[in-house]
Homo-oligomer: A and B are copies of this chain.
Amino acid sequence: MKKSQSSENFSNKIALNQGKRSFVEIEEIVRYSETDQMGVAHNKSYFEWFEIGRTEYCRQKNIPYKNIEAQGYYLVVVEAFCKYKKPLRYDEKFIIRVFLEKITPKKVIFAYELVNKEEKKLIASGYTIHIVTNSKAEVCTLPPDILDKIKE
């Protein structure tokens, strides 16, 4: 199965990132409502955490995502991936790391790592691919000022 190949490529890139590229971090804590009957955080929660990471990324780059939408641009998720390494339990603190993987006027890719707060062990990693649309859901391009701030 070829899928493993992509995962590998993806993982390599992540590993590379850690050496050379900057990332934004935000701390979170597992909510009771995010657990399921297995006693760990549900797989869907990670995609909400990735989104919290994106929000924080944009904020730290001085272009809050709500301002991007207020200007009529939407970063619509067209692909989402998560690899789960270790479970997260209720009330456990962890850190969301966000990397800007790629940005063009038409496409943005964010990569993510979740690490636990204490030993910084990898809990999960993933990515989301976004296209840019306007408020009518038509594909468009990010204006240079927004694009530049995101990649600063």
Contact = CB atoms under 8 A, between A and B. Distances in A.
Q: Mostly helix, strand, loop or mixed at chain A's interface? A: mixed
Interface in A43-71: 43-45, 47-48, 51-52, 55, 64-66, 69
Interface of A: 1-13, 31-33, 35-40, 42-45, 47-48, 51-52, 55, 64-66, 69, 74, 76-85, 87, 89-91, 102, 109, 127-128, 137
A5 B79 CA distance: 14
Given A82-B80, A84-B77, A91-B64, A48 B38 contact: no
Contacts of A8: 1, 3-4
Contacts of A90: 37, 66
Contacts of A37: 32, 35-40, 69, 90
Nearest to A76: B38
B127 A3 contact: yes
Contacts of A79: 7, 81-84
22 contacts: A2-B10, A3-B8, A3-B11, A3-B127, A4-B4, A4-B7, A5-B5, A7-B7, A7-B79, A33-B44, A37-B37, A37-B40, A43-B47, A43-B77, A44-B44, A44-B48, A66-B91, A77-B84, A79-B82, A79-B83, A79-B84, A80-B81
A35 B33 contact: no
A51 to B, nearest CB: 5
A10 B6 CA distance: 10
